[in-house]
Amino acid sequence: MKNNAALYIHIPFCDHKCIYCDFYSIITSDNITNYLSALKREIDFYSGKYSASHSFNTIYFGGGTPSLMQPEYISEIVSHIKTKFIVSDDAEVTLETNPGTVDYKKLTDFLSSGINRISIGIQSFNEDELKFLTRIHSGQTAIDTIIAAKHAGFENISIDLIFNLPNQTKEKWIENLKTAFTLPINHISTYSLILERGTILNKMVLDGKVILQDDDYDADLYESTINYILDKGMIQYEVSNFCYPGFESIHNNAYWHYNDYLSFGTSAHSFMNGKRWHNCSSLKMYIDLIDEKNNALISKEILTKIEMENEYWFLAFRSRGLIVEEYISKFGNSRLNQNSDLISNLIDEGFMLNQNGVIRLTPKGFALCDEILSRFK
């Protein structure tokens, strides 16, 4: 029996680098054709290793800005993957999309090319916040893109929003959420503004041009986010992710549930059969390495059982919770016994639940997730 796994494809091309972004992206249209050729060769290389042992129920195009590409470009990659790997008929195929890069016609063409889930990088509907984040779209363009995706035939629409921007009041943030819930979305990811090294925003903070709000205010906004979204009928299935029942991201769950995933392209990271590796980031180096050896791997490691247990433990509590029987079958019950008193206390305090053999965080617990996880042995 083949193991279910996820496929990820990194499209690094962008028309603009946002101040907070630390993902590998490039502002150029050079080498788009050469990159497609290299991707196909990398896909061929790994299909020889994993097509017999794994089947795939999710394909995810991230970036960069994958929606900058023409639908034919994306279609060619999807088709090539399906000739090399076993992909389930009902596989979730997601395209990260930025407002301002698509219209109704392009969206219908993406749907025809095999994309069945759209993840739209809104970040904010507020004009001042969009300007601060250096996004290329307006609030109205964001709204129009979501509506166009629905009219084009997409039944699975996700959006991203960022909170705790400098000077962002709780009222402004809630207005973003209110706008989102007037639109035909099924899934919403909400992220606190994180300061990443090497970004433009990081330099702005170091230079004193931007002052970030403190952790207590961030926690207050996050708790308000959870309460608001749950009141709208969505469920929280990971620290930052919410959806209506039945619309959990299969791809994201593959990461959080510690399943195997295989990734292609610049800066792509893979995890298969207890082995982890990642590709180089440079587009030129990626193409050169593919030309030389059909892969662009620059680092790899084989995880120990203790490392795998640690990762499994923390990912489980960040998402669906720890399925006790499954956990014990993989790693034994030593760690559960070590933390039994702490778990009991957290349950008594309303931060955790133990229902039907699953130990998980409550919404109150999610609001203090990092602090709670740091207390485990």
Predicted confidence (pLDDT) per residue in 319-349, tens digit: 999 999 999 999 999 999 999 999 999 999 9
Domain that holds residue 215: 3-256
Q: Do residue 218 and residue 358 come from a single domain?
A: no
Same domain, 249 and 327: no
DSSP letter at 136 equals: S
Is residue 284 in some structural domain? Answer: no
Q: Would the pLDDT of 235 be above 90?
A: yes
- Please tell me the least confidently modeled range out of 27-41, 87-101, 141-155: 27-41
Which domain CATH number covers 63?
Answer: 3.20.20.70
Residues 216 and 76 in one domain: yes
Q: Is 66 helix (H, G, I), strand (E, B) or coil?
A: helix
Instruction: Looking at the structure, tell me whether residues 240 and 333 fall in a common domain.
Output: no
Nearest to 74 by CA among 10, 146, 25: 10
CA distance 142 to 121: 9
- For 109-131, write each residue's pLDDT tens digit: 999 999 999 999 999 999 999 99
In the chain, what percentage of residues exceed pLDDT 70?
Answer: 98
Arithmetic mean of pLDDT over the chain: 93
Which residue, of 235, 256, 277, is where some domain finishes? Answer: 256
Which of 67, 81, 78, 79 has its CA nearest to residue 11?
Answer: 67
- Residues 214, 349, single domain; the answer is no
**Residue 55 covered by a domain:** yes
pTM across the whole model: 0.93
- What is the rounded CA–CA span in Å between residue 243 and residue 228? 13
DSSP code of residue 165 = -
pLDDT of residue 1: 59
In a domain, 14, yes or no: yes
Instruction: Read off the pLDDT of residues 164-217 as tens digits, 9 standing for 90 and up.
Output: 998 899 999 999 999 999 999 999 999 988 767 777 777 777 777 777 778 888
Q: Where are the beta strands (DSSP E) in 141-252?
A: 157-163, 187-192, 235-238, 241-243
Residues 37 and 168 in one domain: yes
Is position 117 within any domain?
yes
Whether 163 and 14 share a structural domain: yes
- Please check whether residues 12 and 97 belong to one and the same domain: yes
234 shares its domain with 107? yes
Whose tokens are 């639109």? That residue is 183
Task: With respect to residue 226, please indicate whether it lies within any of the assigned structural domains.
Answer: yes
- Torsion angles phi and psi, residue 217, rounded to 5: -65, -40
Structural domain contains residue 333: yes
201 and 335 together in one domain: no
Domain boundary among 256, 274, 294: 256
**Omega of the bond prior to 64 within 30 degrees of 0, cis?**
yes
**Looking at the 3D structure of the chain, how many domains does it have?**
2
Residue 23 belongs to some domain of the structure? yes
**Alpha helix (H) residue ranges in 249-373:** 250-256, 283-293, 305-318, 324-331, 334-338, 340-348, 363-366, 369-373
Residue 137, in any domain of the structure: yes
Domain boundary among the residues 256, 271, 302 is at 256
Indicate whether 336 and 234 sit together in one domain: no
pLDDT category, 136, cuts 50, 70, 90?
A: confident
Q: Are residues 206 and 347 in the same domain?
A: no
Q: What is the pLDDT of residue 19?
A: 66
